[in-house]
């Protein structure tokens, strides 16, 4: 990943309870790590020789928005102009499931237009990511 021209952000619904916000960021982060293992750095060792697993090599700002804006961004990400971006979405349907099997089964019966997104992670061209999220504020 060319860090000069690439960017990764998460956009999360700021109206959610803090625990759901944290869970959303964690789940999307794990999926990003699976999709982009090359961005996870090597393990490091402290002065005493204790090992610490590698973490992502660049910042991932978490931006705030609301469900409507996240939905509109997700819809735009289906356009061919954004097809080269890595996208992880997280919906209220996924958040409400007790198991992955339950999630898979429920998704079979839901169209994309029915999904309510609570978070989305986007990685790729800085220009494209900024076009979608450049005016958004940090979630604090």
Rg of the Cα atoms in the chain:
16
pTM attached to this predicted model:
0.92
The predicted-structure confidence for 107-119, as pLDDT tens digits, reads as follows: 999 999 999 999 9
The predicted-structure confidence for 3-40, as pLDDT tens digits, reads as follows: 678 899 999 999 999 999 999 999 999 999 999 999 99
The pLDDT of residue 1 is above 70: no
Give residue for tokens 């610490």.
Answer: 52
Summary count for the chain: helices (H), strands (E):
5, 6
Q: In the CATH scheme, what architecture does the domain 6-133 have?
A: 3-Layer(aba) Sandwich (3.40)
């Amino acid at each position: 990943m060319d860090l000069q021209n690439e960017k990764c952000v998460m956009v999360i619904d700021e109206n959610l309870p803090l625990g759901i916000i944290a869970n959303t960021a964690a789940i999307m982060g794990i999926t990003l790590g699976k999709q982009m293992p090359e961005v996870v750095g090597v393990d490091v060792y402290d002065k005493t020789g204790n090992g610490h697993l590698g973490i992502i090599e660049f910042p991932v700002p978490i931006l705030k928005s609301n469900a409507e804006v996240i939905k509109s961004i997700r819809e735009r990400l289906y356009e061919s102009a954004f097809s080269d971006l890595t996208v992880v979405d997280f919906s209220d349907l996924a958040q409400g499931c007790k198991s992955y099997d339950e999630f898979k089964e429920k998704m079979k019966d839901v169209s994309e237009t029915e999904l309510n997104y609570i978070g989305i992670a986007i990685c790729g061209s800085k220009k494209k990511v900024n076009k979608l999220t450049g005016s958004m504020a940090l979630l604090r």
